[in-house]
Each structure stands twice: as C-alpha cells, then as structure tokens.
Structure 1
Amino acid sequence: MPHRRSARLATWQLALFSTSGLGLWLSGTCWLLLHYYGQIEGEFGPEVNPAEPWMMKIHGLFLIAALLGIGGMFIAHIPKGWSQRHQRVAGVVLSGILGVLIISGYMLYYVGIEAVRAWTSVVHWFLGLSLPAIFTWHYVKARRSRKRKHK
C-alpha cells in the first residue's frame, strides 16, 4: 500500500492500468490488422472481417476501465507527483497522449466527416501503438528515482 503522501500507485491501480492498457492495445492492434489485412473475400468482393466489429466492442469495454483509472490519477497521483521534477516531463507527455487518444477516439466515433476521420484515425492508431513505450518510459524513470532515494 503506498504512503498517503506518495505519488506511487497502489497495486490495484497498477493492475487496472496494466489490464486495461494491454486490453486496449491488443484490441486496437487486432482491429488495425483486421481492417487493413484481414478482409475476407465475399460474394461481391472484399468484405469486412466479422471479427473487426468485435475488436471495437472489446476496445470500448477496456476503455471504460481505463477512463476510470485516468480519472483517479487526477485525484492523487498527478497532484502528488507534480513536485517530482524528474518525472514531470514524462508524466506530462503521457497525460497529453492519453488526452489526445481520448479526444481522437471520441472524434472517430462521432464525427462523420470522412476527411477529419482519415487524419484522426492515423493520429489515434499512431499514438495508441506508441503508448506502451511512453508508459514504460514514465514507469522506469519512477523506479530509478525510487532506487536512488533508497541508496
């Protein structure tokens, strides 16, 4: 259990982020692969793979947990972690990317203008694919910082 004054996440919070993040990343990656390389040959030519809509439903399911976790970050983790300057850049970058992913995901679902959807889609999948690397950067910096403090 983390100390109340610490920005360190509780075990359940790390589990929530790990599970929802992995679920989002895998379902998004599977959707991308199915969309661009998984079309099936139908009676009248190429058709959408039947698994593609299911990947979006799974993606949305994992998004619910991720949004709950992100909301919780604004209550304790971000305010308590703001004083840790060595982590600030990584945290701001991670938060910014999460914000753009949320907004672009909303736009993909609700904006009907195809020109907007085209560039929004590229931004969304590029940032989504890169998110594990950004999260790892933030996490590793925090672990290194804790190790330095305990020496």
Structure 2
Amino acid sequence: MPNRRTARLASWQIWLLSLSGTGLWLTGAAWLLLHYYGQTEGDFGPEMNPLEPWMMKLHGFFLIPALLGIGGMFVAHIPKGWHHTAQRFAGIVFSVVLTVLVVTGYLLYYAGGETLREWSSLTHWIIGLTLPAAFLWHYINGQLVRRRRKAPAVHT
C-alpha cells in the first residue's frame, strides 16, 4: 500500500512500471536492431526479419500495463510529488519524455503523411532509448532529496 503522506508509489506500482518499462525498452531496442541490422536476403533483395512484427506485437502488449501504471501516477504520485520542489524539474522532464513517447507512438500508427511518420519514428526511438536515463535521473534525484530531508541538521 502506498504511503498516504508521501509521493512514493506502492510496491505493486513499482513492479508494474518496472516490468512493463523494461519490456517496452527491450522490445523497442530489439525491433530497432532487427529493422536496421537484421534484414534477411530474399530472392528479390533484402527482406524484413520475420521477428520484426513480433517485436511490435510484444511492444504493444507491454504498453498496456505501462499506460495503466502511468495513469495511476496521476492519482497520487504526481499531485503529492508536486509539493517536492527539489524533485519537480526531474519529474516534469520525465513526464514530458513519457508524453512525447505516447504521442509519437500514436502518430506512428495513425499519422497520414510519410514525412510526419518519419519524424515521429526518429523522435520515438531516440527518446525511447534515452528513457532509462531520464528514469534514473528522476529516481536517484528523489533518493538524494529523501536522504537530505532525513539527515539531522548539523549545528556549529
């Protein structure tokens, strides 16, 4: 159960977001490798790797619990965390990164023009690959802020 006085997530939320986030990152990275370096030679030239569509299906599968977890953060984590000004900037950056990924992922499937689709793809995979760094920054910053709050004041 989450601590009602802090912005800390419940352990089940941490597991849900960690597992789905890891699954998204791994399937996205695997798709990139297969798409750009895993083509097979067919009768008429290079062909898509047969695992590529499966990586996208798994990527979509992991997106479902990730979106549920992100939605859950809007209930307690973000509103309660807003009061922690030392952590606010890192949280905003992380939220923007997640928003860009959701929007560009949507555009990849539903954008009409090829130019918009190309830009969405490039933005999606570049930001997606950097997501672990954005998460670690938010998490480690939160740990440091928490430690500073708990540290006894030194009087001289």
TM more than 0.5: yes
What one-letter code is carried by the residue in structure 2 that aligns with 1:106? Y
Post-superposition CA distance 1:62-109 (Å, at most 9, x none): 000000001001110000000000110000000011011001000001
RMSD: 0.8
TM-score, normalized by length of structure 2? 0.94
Which residue number in structure 1 is paired with residue 73 of structure 2? 73
- Residue number in structure 2 paired with 1:104: 104
The Cα shift of 1:144 comes to: 1.1
- Percent sequence identity is 63
Counterpart-to-counterpart distance in 2, 1:10 and 1:88: 20
Larger radius of gyration: 2
The CA distance in 2 between the partners of 1:124 and 1:3, in whole Å, is: 34
The one-letter code sitting in structure 2 at the alignment partner of 1:32 is L
- What is the deviation of 1:57? 0.2
Q: Number of residues paired by the alignment? A: 151
SS at match of 1:58: helix
For structure 2, list consecutive stretches of 5 or more residues without a partner in the other structure: 152-156
Point out where structure 1 has 5 or more consecutive residues left out of the alignment: none
* TM-score normalised by the chain length of structure 1: 0.97
Q: Does structure 1 retain, via aligned residues, the 8 Å contact 2:3–2:10? A: no
For residues 1-151 of structure 1, the aligned pairs below 5 Å read 1-151=1-151
Distance across 2 between alignment mates of 1:45 and 1:146: 57
Runs (4+) off by over 2 Å: none
Distance 2:3 2:109 in 1: 40
